[in-house]
Structure 1
């Protein structure tokens, strides 16, 4: 459980790099990288993410690639902004074996557990404070 709490805390310190800020009223940020936070090699992660992207594109036209990263740059992975319902996002996160996903609604960013039973969703603050463009 301590390991999961440590992961949960690390998920709360996050930045998203995108070509443009998402314009959807609510959306999920999902990835298929590193199932259950077990690090896979890059080809396996890329293959998993491509399959997730295809699945998301079949569900909605609102899919945008973003880089999810630690503020210090020590870790990053490709994720997708997807204009799907929160229930759909949760099912996808579980199916792709993700411990949690990010949810944005009314300009607020939430960290939502998917496979983690010992924690509850948490409001991280305004999404504008977590997104940047270059």
Structure 2
């Protein structure tokens, strides 16, 4: 069963990157930070982020981005990664994530990973994307 408050927080998303939203046909946006939406601290999130980067070493298209709420009260270092939906799901599960974001043909989908429930189309990725400088990932 999905916690509806948590799910609503996942729906209220914004992505920040120094480039416009990619036009790749399909890609995943995921994080290794705060597994199961439990805050673990900057140091541990930094270690988890480095582990995610090691896990995708050699993958051709992977770019760091920031994900957070539109007001940027919270932010997490994330990764936009060209991969199949199955590969994205497996990575998100490996890093203990409740959900991930999948972009298919320009449409942003919120997909449960450790949570049960249906995927939800949130709309055009461009509506959730801000092109701007971003902060460096945790150390």
Q: TM-score, normalised by structure 2?
A: 0.90
Which sections of structure 2, spanning at least 5 residues, go unmatched? 133-139
- 2:120 is the alignment partner of 1:127: no
Question: C-alpha deviations, 1:65-122, integer Å up to 9, x for none?
Answer: 00001012211110000001000111111110000000001000000000001x2100
1:57 touches 1:63 (CA, 8 Å); kept in 2?
Answer: no
Alignment of 1:1-134 (within 5 A): 1=1, 4-21=3-20, 22-58=22-58, 60-117=59-116, 119-134=117-132
Could you say which structure has the higher helix fraction? 1
1:65 touches 1:78 (CA, 8 Å); kept in 2?
Answer: yes
Distance in 2 (alpha carbons) for counterparts of 1:113 and 1:75: 20
Structure with the greater relative contact order (CA < 8 A, sep ≥ 6): 1 or 2? 2
CA RMSD of aligned residues (A): 1.2
Q: TM-score, normalised by structure 1?
A: 0.93
